[in-house]
A and B are shown apart, each in its own frame.
Chain A
Amino acid sequence: DTEVTQTPKHLVMGMTNKKSLKCEQHMGHRAMYWYKQKAKKPPELMFVYSYEKLSINESVPSRFSPECPNSSLLNLHLHALQPEDSALYLCASSQSDGGGFIDTQYFGPGTRLTVL
């Protein structure tokens, strides 16, 4: 089983709203990731959590705030977003953030975010 789930599937929000994206995996993976993907572009890494600690922040604006409440869950809190933040937000997980085949990243279906 290589399933990563994400909710909601679609989200429309105004620039003054606060919302959260959720990601869950039950594969016992200890590394979890947030990516942003614009249309016709590849995924761009935003954050990496390793053993529930933030290990990589790719200089993401503070209006995006990640949280890892436990080893199975990853949240992305959104506040005061801009229309250009509209994109597909993908969560992924892997055994760890190290090397080897075992650390292949598996992606969830994504949340399609529209900021009005």
Chain B
Amino acid sequence: AQRVTQPEKLLSVFKGAPVELKCNYSYSGSPELFWYVQYSRQRLQLLLRHISRESIKGFTADLNKGETSFHLKKPFAQEEDSAMYYCALRGNTPLVFGKGTRLSVIA
């Protein structure tokens, strides 16, 4: 079965501090991992995907198959990063999402 776990419901950090949003997954095959973000009053949208190994808005995420993790990181948080973040996995079934982490960046 596919499962995504985001252990933190809420994460508060000060502006300029590093951010790490945790994501662990369960899947026996080779997964595709994603981070989606939902800003206030906006639609859920793709932030980044592990296969492209890109940095979007300063965020990066590395797939660690040994630890079955795909944590989202940013070295210096900005106020505009405040949003709801969802980790998602696609295996042999459609996208499965975690319960999300609300990031609050305090000025």
Instruction: Decide whether A and B are members of one complex.
Output: no
